[in-house]
Amino acid sequence: MIDFRTDPSRYNHWTLSFEGPIAYLNMDVDASAGLAPGYELKLNSYDLGVDIELYDAVQRLRFEHPEIHSVVIRSLKERIFCAGANIRMLGLSTHGHKVNFCKFTNETRNFIEDATEFSGQTYISAINGTAAGGGYEMALATDYIMLVDDGNAAVSLPEVPLLAVLPGTGGLTRVVDKRKVRRDHADVFCTLEEGIKGKRAVEWRLVDEVVPNSKFIETVRERALELAEKSDRPDNAKGITLEKLERTLSDNTIKYSHLELDLDRSAKTITVTLMGPGQHAPGSLQEMQQQGCEFWSLALARQLDDALLYLRLNEPELGTLIFKTHGDGEKVLSYDNLLLDHADNWLVREITLYWKRTLKRVDMTSRSIVALIEPGSCFAGILAELVFAADRSYMLEGQFEGDDLPEATLVLNELNFGPLPMSNNLTRLATRFLGEPQTVGEIHAKINEPVDAMQAFELGLVTYALDDIDWDDEVRLLLEERASFSPDAMIGMEANLRFAGPETMETKIFGRLTAWQNWIFQRPNAVGEKGALKLYGTGVRASYDTNRV
């Protein structure tokens, strides 16, 4: 079992240190502490376990350290920044693990960029030596890249010439889209094993600055302080500790305090029930701060995030995710209103941004997503986003016979119209109604009004509104049909349909790059017995099938 829960006391590969408004995120990978046997993490190479710690550190810097305005990623190993993803690990891993490893690493890099752009916590890379492959890709996720000028330090993306695969965590996209490297220069760079160093790395915009070794530490600190001055994060606010998430596991259930998952292995489904809060939101920011990570909005986001990651790596055969909710929609909206009313508060901003990132993980889920809106549900505000993230949504009209639970309604608020965009930078509603943007305005006119099943259907908010006579049969047929289709075809279809509208750097990374890498990871040129990834380090040259496909 792969567990994404960790904290700094259990890190094997990273340490955090602090100097005024600067945090140093220090990479010092323990070569013997890989996530699985069979490889050593030499030269600050990494596997999923290294990135799990990095993700945790990024989260903690945002929530626990409001006083930190800039973050420097650096290596504690001499003359090596990071050698990238461990090649032995990739050679030994299943196809699914390789793809999910790249996916999580991509998300973590995106979250670093999110912290820089939206949280006032700017990330800087201090490259003290070789930054190869995924090591340079990690640097590309930061806002400012500094390279020591010692005659040896270089940046490189050597995957194509060495391994017959692609830089799997956004390198190609960030080089041309983010750093705007000229296409022909990028072509040279991405086919050059030894990489590029010094003045040329700056001229080609691969790095922002090269600094002599004797002045490197001092200059990194100066740049970090300069960037810290631009932050709007408070200097004297108190952060909140992200305590360990508690959950209980059994063969067919996973339970958190606000979230329950039921795993039906015969039907290949996972039912995720999100529980609304037991009481209305606290009346002030001070009370919210006192609740810390138990504040319902934050607690549920953390639990959903952890559940999605757990399922991704540990339950790959359960292909349909069913979202349900249970609770009082008015109480859900009271928490949303607290977030909306205090959107300029640093902690409120972080909670809202956390929901944005977690909902993006829902969008990126390689499973069919179904939302079932039943009596007693609380798909309101932030939870209504799960309906719009779903591939299909069914809403019950009226009540079940003999059931006194209140009729199902949907209630929207301002969180559904801006603060929680998808990777295409559109809201889920704008993406849903790309061909009829006027509908979004009509829906906005009903903000904070409970919408019943027939209204929701007429407005296009749900796929079907069903009465209790048809409900069970229609849901059963949907789930059976979904389970009968090819999972490969489903993943491809869903990923294409979910992201209508403009292409962004994120959609390129998760769409174009992931699709190509997924395919290349199965090709004999890379992973066959005579493939480059299998033969790397043996001294034997790879043998390629020269047919272009």
Domain boundaries, the chain: 8-228, 248-498
Q: What is the pLDDT of residues 11-29, one digit of tens each?
A: 999 999 999 999 999 999 9
pLDDT of the residue at 46: 97
428-444 mean pLDDT: 97
Q: Over pLDDT 70: what percentage of the chain?
A: 100
Q: For 217-267, how does the pLDDT look when each residue is reduced to its tens digit (9 = 90+)? A: 999 999 999 999 999 999 999 999 999 999 999 999 999 999 999 999 999
pLDDT at 529: 93
Q: What DSSP string describes 340-369?
A: HHTTTSHHHHHHHHHHHHHHHHHHT-SSEE
Matching fold, domains 8-228 and 248-498:
yes
The residue-averaged pLDDT of 139-156 equals 97
CATH 3.90.226.10 fits 8-228, yes or no: yes
pLDDT value for 513: 80
How many whole angstroms separate alpha carbon 480 and alpha carbon 306? 27
The lowest-confidence range among 95-104, 142-151, 316-325 is: 95-104
Phi-psi region of 170 (alpha: psi -120 to 50; beta: other; left: phi over 0): left
For residue 533, how many other CB atoms are within 10 A of its CB?
A: 23
- Residue 305 binned pLDDT confidence (cut-offs 50, 70, 90): very high
Residue for token digits 């100066």? 222
Does residue 30 sit in helix, strand or coil?
A: coil
Give the mean pLDDT of the chain. 96
Report, as an integer, the average pLDDT of 127-134.
97
Average pLDDT on 360-375 reads 97
* Residue 518 scores a pLDDT above 90: no
Least confident of 105-114, 116-125, 154-163, 501-510: 501-510
Sign of CA dihedral 19, 58, 138, 87: positive
Question: What is the rounded CA–CA span in Å between residue 72 and residue 466?
Answer: 54
Task: Check residue 214 and give its pLDDT.
Answer: 97
pLDDT of residue 547: 94
What pLDDT score was predicted for residue 324?
98
Please name the residue that has the structure tokens 């690990």. Answer: 89
Predicted local confidence at residue 510, as pLDDT = 84
360: left (phi over 0), alpha (psi -120 to 50) or beta: alpha
Task: Give the pair of three-digit tokens for residue 275.
Answer: 């529980």
Identify the helix (H) or strand (E) that includes residue 440.
Answer: helix 438-444
Mean pLDDT of 512-517: 82
SS3 of residue 250 by DSSP: coil
- The pLDDT assigned to 514 comes to 79
Dihedral of alpha carbons 520, 522, 528, 533, sign:
positive
Percent of the chain whose pLDDT exceeds 90: 94
Q: How confident is the model at residue 182, as a pLDDT?
A: 98
Contact (CB, 8 A) for 271 and 261: yes
- Tell me, which fold does domain 248-498 have in CATH? 2-enoyl-CoA Hydratase; Chain A, domain 1 (3.90.226)
Summarize pLDDT for 64-112 with one digit per residue, the tens. 999 999 999 999 999 999 999 999 999 899 999 999 999 999 999 999 9
Is the model's pLDDT at 329 over the cut of 90?
yes
Per-residue model confidence (pLDDT) at position 431 = 97
Per-residue pLDDT reduced to its tens digit, 179-200 = 999 999 999 999 999 999 999 9
56 and 106 Cβ atoms separated by less than 8 Å? no
Q: Is the pLDDT of residue 515 over 90?
A: no
Three-state DSSP at 44 gives helix
| pLDDT value of residue 429 | 98
Take residue 518 and report the two structure tokens written for it. 């997924």
CB count in 10 Å sphere of residue 541? 9
pLDDT tens profile 462-514: 999 999 999 999 999 999 999 999 999 999 999 889 989 999 999 998 888 87
State how far the Cα of 355 lies from the Cα of 304, in Å rounded to an integer. Answer: 9
pLDDT of res. 512: 80
The 10s digit of each residue's pLDDT in 406-432 is: 999 999 999 999 999 999 999 999 999
How many residues belong to the chain?
A: 549
- Chain-centre distance for alpha carbon 353: 12
In whole angstroms, give the CA distance from residue 165 to residue 170.
Answer: 13
Cβ pair 417, 444 in contact under 8 A: yes
* Whole-number Å distance between alpha carbons of 479 and 386: 18
Q: Which of 278, 304, 294 is nearest to 240 (CA)?
A: 294
